[in-house]
């Protein structure tokens, strides 16, 4: 039994998530290039980026704490792999779910952002600590509407906190997006995901020209490759999570596989469109945005869900 779960961890959690995530980041870059009326990178570009980074040397600044400097990317990648394995397990066989695995997945999905903060503070650099403190403020702000909006599918499917329970409910009663409260909650979650992934308009922590890559400024070589891999895997895991909660997950029989594929591509396209049409906001605007309108919308969605709409 341990062996079969190891198979899941490596094949589904790491390899499949990594490949689909890197292809999704290629789609993102290509669509961005096309929107800006230019040719984009070739299809294997994100893979070549990771391979190239594995071949460079690693430099550590003097005075940085050695253990946490190299622990941070490993921590981030392992968090994403575990979360992705849990999601795949539930999609492949909804009987494998256990009570509370929704909460476990939400916890595991905050680990990548925490690893950025740990890495930023471990490098002995004022710009890195500035980026890490901005990331901290951002996490404080978007986690609240994220969790509130994720309560809506829970309420709809009869107060079950099992991922398998939510999937079963949607298989029988239609996807949660169809209801008014589901739609509002889905919109809130999509914007929170934009902040979790560190994409414009909320890529404040890693603003390239402002604070020269923020927490990642001192990373090079394989450590940086792990961070980039973590970001790409997150680009697969988070829309997958949204698919499970709001869009009915992935169904393996026949034509429904194509629908699942199109749902995923649609979510990635929406993320890319939001990314290309918005400027970057300041950190106080972002905090005010997430604690103001987004929280109100999430509370409204919960209220409507309780009423039954």
Residue 254 interacts with another protein (CB under 8 A)? no
* Beta carbon nearer to another protein, 4 or 209: 209
End-to-end CA distance of the chain: 43
Q: How far apart are CA 166 and CA 158, in angstroms?
A: 9
Min separation Cβ 209 and another protein, Å: 7
Least Å from the CB of residue 136 to another protein: 20
Return the number of the residue (168 or 220) whose C-beta is nearest another protein. 220
Is residue 305 within 8 A of residue 181, CB to CB? The reply is: yes
Closest approach, Cβ 227 to another protein, in A, equals: 11
- Is residue 272 part of the contact set for another protein (CB under 8 A)? no
Identify which of residues 43 and 306 has a Cβ nearer to another protein in the complex. Answer: 43
Give the list of residues 6+ apart from residue 55 with CB closer than 8 angstroms, or none.
Answer: none
Q: Give residue 52's Cα distance to chain centre.
A: 24
The residues near 220 (Cβ < 8 Å, ≥ 6 apart) are 56, 57, 58, 59
> DSSP string covering 13-59, please?
IIIIHHHHHHHHHHHHHHHHHHHTTS----TTHHHHHHHHHHTSPP-
Residues numbered 98 to 137 that lie near another protein (CB under 8 A) are: none
Closest CB to another protein among 61 and 293?
61
- Binding segment for another protein among 13-21, 33-41, 150-158, 268-276 (CB under 8 A)? 33-41
Residues 223-252 as x/- pattern, contact with another protein by CB under 8 A: -x----------------------------
- Our CA angle for 274, 278, 283, nearest 5°, is 105
Binds another protein (CB under 8 A): choice among 105, 154, 205, 216 = 216
What is the spatial distance between Cα 135 and Cα 286, in angstroms, rounded to a whole number? Answer: 11
Regarding 218 and contact with another protein (CB under 8 A), the answer is yes
Q: How far is the CB of 76 from another protein (least distance, A)?
A: 17
Taking the least distance from each CB to another protein, the nearer of 46 and 153 is: 46
Within 184-213, the residues that bind another protein by CB under 8 A are: 208-209, 212-213
Alpha helices (runs of H) in the chain, residue ranges in sequence order: 2-7, 17-35, 45-54, 66-92, 101-122, 126-156, 163-173, 180-196, 208-211, 222-246, 255-276, 283-289, 295-307
Nearer to another protein, 4 or 36 (CB): 36
- 255 CB neighbour count, 10 Å cutoff: 8
Residue from 8, 9, 19, 29 in contact with another protein (CB under 8 A): 29
| Count of residues near another protein by CB under 8 A | 30
- The residue (of 21 and 248) whose beta carbon lies closer to another protein is 21
What does the block give as tokens for 38?
């230019």
Q: What does the DSSP 8-state code read for residue 1?
A: -
The contact mask relative to another protein for 52-81 (x = CB under 8 A, - = no) is x--xxxxx----------------------
Return the ∠ at Cα 186 (arms to 280 and 214), rounded to 5°: 30
Structure tokens at 287: 């905090």
For another protein, which residue of 9, 16, 19, 33 counts as binding (CB under 8 A)? Answer: 33
What residues make contact with another protein under the rule CB under 8 A?
A: 29, 33, 36-42, 45, 48-49, 51-52, 55-59, 208-209, 212-213, 216-221, 224
């Amino acid at each position: 039994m341990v062996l079969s779960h190891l198979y899941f961890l490596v094949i589904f959690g790491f390899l499949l998530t990594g490949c689909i995530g890197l292809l999704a980041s290629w789609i993102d870059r290509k669509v961005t290039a096309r929107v800006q009326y230019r040719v984009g990178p070739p299809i294997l570009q994100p893979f070549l980026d990771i391979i190239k980074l594995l071949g460079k040397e690693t430099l550590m600044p003097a005075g940085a704490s050695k253990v946490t400097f190299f622990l941070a990317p490993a921590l981030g990648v392992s968090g994403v792999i575990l979360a992705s394995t849990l999601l795949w397990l539930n999609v492949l066989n909804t009987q494998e779910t256990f009570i509370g695995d929704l909460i476990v997945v939400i916890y595991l999905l905050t680990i990548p952002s925490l690893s950025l903060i740990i890495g930023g503070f471990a490098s002995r650099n004022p710009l890195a600590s500035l980026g890490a403190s901005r990331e901290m403020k951002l996490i404080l702000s978007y986690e609240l509407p994220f969790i509130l909006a994720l309560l809506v599918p829970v309420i709809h499917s009869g107060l079950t906190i099992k991922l398998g329970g939510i999937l079963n409910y949607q298989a029988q009663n239609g996807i949660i997006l169809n209801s008014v409260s589901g739609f509002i909650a889905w919109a809130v979650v999509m914007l929170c995901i934009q902040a979790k992934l560190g994409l414009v308009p909320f890529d404040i922590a890693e603003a390239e020209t402002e604070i020269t890559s923020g927490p990642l400024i001192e990373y090079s070589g394989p450590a940086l490759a792990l961070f980039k891999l973590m970001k790409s895997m997150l680009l697969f895991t988070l829309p997958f999570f949204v698919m499970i909660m709001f869009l009915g997950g992935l169904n393996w029989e026949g034509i429904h596989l194509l629908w699942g594929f199109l749902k995923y591509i649609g979510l990635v396209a929406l993320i890319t469109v939001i990314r290309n049409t918005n400027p970057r906001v300041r950190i106080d605007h972002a905090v005010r945005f997430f604690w103001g309108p987004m929280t109100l919308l999430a509370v409204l969605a919960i209220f409507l869900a309780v009423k039954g709409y």
